Amino acid sequence: MAVGPATLPNFEPISGFRLGTASAGIKTPGRLDLVVMELTESASVAGVFTRNAFCAAPVTLSKKHLAAGQPRYLLTNTGNANAGTGAEGMADASGCCAKLAELVGVKAEQVLPFSTGVIGEKLPVEKIYAALPAAVDALSENGWEAAASGILTTDTRPKGASCSLEMNGQTVRVSGISKGAGMIRPNMATMLAYVATDAQVEQADLQALLSEVAERTFNRVTIDGDTSTNDSCMLVATGASGVVCAPGQAEWDQFAEAIESVLRELAQAIVRDGEGATKFVSVEVNGADDSAEALKVAYAIAHSPLVKTALFASDPNWGRILAAVGYAGVEQLDLEALKIYLGDVCIVENGGRAADYTEEQGQTVMNEEDILIRVELARGDVRETVWTTDLSKDYVTINADYRS
């Protein structure tokens, strides 16, 4: 079950970035579950990672290898998170890096590993070792679509975004894929996302850009409030187009917006494919004193099981939204000035139910697949938006049966 269109874009190939996908049979025989991404030697690489204290072994190792120098390969397996696996998990992640490095003729430190799947189980490294040659043989600049499928776990469909823009009379391309459907409150990025561009960007500028746009995109989605142990988002600039992009240039904002638009599309695709989701819900909070205050209110609504189950039932139970705003922790909240809307329908004003509100108006909004909940705090000029889903019976079933 998913909300909205499921089609992948026509991916713009990124010169200097190749993807190869194979089946290692890590959890399901014959399923695509191993992806190798090859970066040109001159590429700049940026990354943001989970803030979960129990971060997975591949996250720890990727951060270490990214800081050490020039990454050349990204290695992703699904079906097993290699998280909560202690020293043995670190050894297994290192072994996978070494095996791929030996195969392609680079240093092990130039391989960044990524894993997703069940937490607490030993990584079946022998299966990965056996499938690596096939993934390397499949490397192609047109390998985006297969890779989009190869990184999935409980997702019902692959997720991708792609665009191109003209800069200084030349074409710059951006493409990306992501995965995630449950255990989603990124707190940095998402479960896994990979975006590449053929622009030339210094590593420090690329890292600053990724950190900034991830905050406004992946850090604004939540399915269930759970932050994964394996969240990783990588941004690669190969430089193959020859177009130099740097802050302060006239066209930097145009380039930054292109990167942000791709990340936003990937982030929202995760919400639309949330486990058991039947609604795509935007929670918009306007008129806050600061961002933290706005997000308190937005997440109180987005994480409320009572609000989320009402959304699943298409029940305009506005009292649940009012209650969530009330317990969000905003100090000295002026209830008389606050307003709450379902779509364009005002449901709360002057401290209670809006005088003109009717159940029929609320029902019309709640019957839609895409729903906007808007809160006007009337305290300042800060605005934040969080994207989430309803909470369905299928979410419970999917997660109850996840390991079976």
pLDDT of residue 6: 66
pLDDT of residue 100: 98
The reply to whether 171 belongs to the active site is no
Here the tokens at position 192 are 């896994």
Contacts of 297 (CB under 8 A, 6+ apart): 285, 288, 324, 325, 328, 330, 375, 377
The structure tokens 């129990």 sit at: 54
pLDDT of residue 83: 95
CB 2 within 8 A of CB 102: no
C-alpha–C-alpha distance, residues 101 and 151, integer Å: 20
Of the candidates 269, 330, 344, the one whose C-alpha atom is nearest the C-alpha of residue 297 is 330
pLDDT of residue 87: 97
Does this model's pTM top 0.75?
A: yes
pLDDT of residue 145: 98
- Which segments of 318-358 does DSSP mark as H helices, in order? 318-326
pLDDT of residue 60: 97
The structure tokens 């069940």 sit at: 118
pLDDT of residue 397: 83
Here the tokens at position 179 are 């995965």
C-alpha–C-alpha distance, residues 329 and 152, integer Å: 37
Q: Which amino acid is at 134?
A: A
pLDDT of residue 223: 84
Of the candidates 397, 152, 158, 114, the one whose C-alpha atom is nearest the C-alpha of residue 272 is 158
Indicate which residue of 153, 190, 227, 238 is catalytic: 190
pLDDT digit string (tens) for the chain, length 404 residues: 578 766 899 999 999 999 999 999 999 999 999 999 999 999 999 999 998 888 999 999 999 999 998 999 999 999 999 999 999 999 999 999 999 999 999 999 999 999 999 899 999 999 999 999 999 999 999 999 999 999 998 888 999 999 999 998 999 999 999 998 777 787 766 679 999 999 999 999 999 999 999 999 999 999 888 888 889 999 999 999 999 999 999 899 999 999 999 999 999 999 998 888 899 999 999 999 999 999 999 999 999 999 999 999 999 999 999 999 999 999 999 999 999 999 999 999 999 999 999 999 999 999 999 999 999 999 999 999 999 999 988 888 878 876 76
- Which segments of 248-290 does DSSP mark as H helices, in order? 252-272
C-alpha–C-alpha distance, residues 249 and 246, integer Å: 6
Per DSSP, the three-state class of 69 is: coil
